[in-house]
Amino acid sequence: MTLAGKHVAILGVGRSGRAAAQLALREGARVSAWDSAGPDTFVGMPEAVDIHPGATAEDGAAVVSDLLVVSPGIDTYGPYVAAFAQQAGEVIGEVELAARFYQGRIIGITGTNGKTTTTELVGRILAHAGLGGVPCGNYGTPFAEVVLQQTPPAAVSLELSSFQLETIRILRPEVAVWLNFAPDHMDRYPTVDAYRSAKLRIFLNLGPQNTSVVRSGENLPAHPSKQVTFSTTDSSADWFSDGCVITHAGETVLDLESDTALRGLHNSENAMAAMAACAAIGISTATMREALHGYAPPPHRCELIRTLDGVEYLNDSKATNLHALESALRSQTRPVVLIAGGKEKGLDYSPVVPLLREKALATVTFGQIARPLAALFADAVPTESVSTLADAVAAARSLAPRGSVVLFSPGTSSFDQFSGYEQRGNSFRDLVHQLR
């Protein structure tokens, strides 16, 4: 692909938009940048870019471009993008743009939950194998920033959200990882099938020379790549774990409890997916085991904050949907006092009720959906509804006996009271450390 002399319009000027603009400039394009926000949003945009703060759909309808690069944070199918797309030669995203100028190997990772941990694990293995392995995409560094490096890495660990996958055209990972699927982002997608269709685009361009790493039982459409499976329930899968060790081809390849700080079946799945993906590009089991030795999961993902009076406090603030909440609950071996709640996202939480009866002693709900969630959960276990996270932590402590775990796994996003799951998780951590 050549961009020399062409007009590239960037829609949305966050970090990925700035990286896309810089890459387009490097390739000789004339670049304009558009955003509905004010001038301060454009800080950091390269000087050669023609900037347009306060951009409206009416402005967009008049823009003629050879290529429109859309931020994943903007609804691809909404009227705003549609206006800018009217006179655009092609509409893609930053990840697709970067892929067209990257010569290395791509391990692409998607799924409703576990993407970030798996992306980190793959990146760690690739780096230990001498391939660079920069984690990028939806997590870490924008892919375009990686491509802009003076010497780009030989391989990347590329996390792909449904929003990014909406705008791929020719992106073809050497290995595509499908972790799981559950309803999410119903505030953006009209149906669950629309969300699933966006995710499935990771397989769009795969051929017989490519590998797909898939959780056993996912029931995906047929595609020509070689399929490798992993499971914590199906011992006939190519990779299997009981939550303590990982086995492949009849041999134990990783002891999660002695080699890593990964705990729970969901993290076993993440580790298996990462190892299967890296094995598919020829990395040895010994190298992978060395790379993962001592690994601890990122913050806010079933992170042990402290043990107080015999009660463990786990921060799983990254659980922004029902499936993540279910995974965290299912992985617990101690009786649970669950703290859940946050922003209303239009999700149906009734499937978690049977799991609460099995795993939980009590629940505490907070935030925008505190009351409806409490009404639902009360059918399974004793439940308290409070307004704030501070109140929720105090209530959970009073309900948690010695030998139990207080699990902070909200099951929805944080934007009713916090700027993101990180701030929410940090707040939980601070509140737990203040307990005496």
Q: How confident is the model at residue 138 (pLDDT cuts 50, 70, 90)?
A: very high
Q: Which of 7, 52, 138, 270 is catalytic?
A: 138
pLDDT in tens, 6-28: 999 999 999 999 999 999 999 99
Non-local (6+) Cβ contacts of 35 within 8 A are: 11, 12, 13, 17, 41, 42, 52, 53, 55
Comparing 421 with 294, the larger pLDDT belongs to 421
Closest CA to 266 of 327, 182, 336: 327
Domain boundary assignment for the chain: 7-89, 97-292, 303-434
Reduce the secondary structure of 329-391 to three states and give it as a string: HHCCCCCEEEEEECCCCCCCCHHHHHHHHHHEEEEEEECCCHHHHHHHHCCCCCEEECCCHHH
pLDDT at 183 over 80: no
> Please, what CATH class does the domain formed by 97-292 belong to?
alpha beta
- As a CATH number, domain 7-89 is 3.40.50.720
Closest CA to 298 of 421, 381, 178: 421
> Nearest 5 degrees, angle CA 91-CA 149-CA 49?
50
pLDDT in tens, 311-353: 999 999 999 988 889 888 987 878 999 999 999 988 889 999 9
Closest CA to 256 of 218, 288, 223: 288
Mean residue pLDDT across the chain: 94
Per-residue confidence (pLDDT) for residue 244, from 0 to 100: 87
pLDDT average, residue stretch 199-227: 96
Q: Which of 7, 52, 115, 345 is catalytic?
A: 115
Per-residue confidence (pLDDT) for residue 265, from 0 to 100: 83
Per-residue confidence (pLDDT) for residue 185, from 0 to 100: 67
**Whether residue 185 lies in the annotated active site:** yes
Q: Which of 185, 248, 266, 359 is catalytic?
A: 185
Q: How confident is the model at residue 182 (pLDDT cuts 50, 70, 90)?
A: confident
pLDDT average, residue stretch 83-97: 98
**Whether residue 7 lies in the annotated active site:** no
Q: Are 258 and 244 in contact (CB under 8 A)?
A: no
Express as a percent the part of the chain with pLDDT over 70: 99
Per-residue confidence (pLDDT) for residue 412, from 0 to 100: 94
Top-confidence range, 164-173, 185-194, 331-340, 347-356: 164-173
Q: How confident is the model at residue 107 (pLDDT cuts 50, 70, 90)?
A: very high
**Whether residue 52 lies in the annotated active site:** no
> Nearest 5 degrees, angle CA 346-CA 348-CA 349?
125
Per-residue confidence (pLDDT) for residue 324, from 0 to 100: 86
CATH fold of 303-434? Protein-Tyrosine Phosphatase; Chain A (3.90.190)
Phi, psi of 307 (to 5 degrees): -115, 125
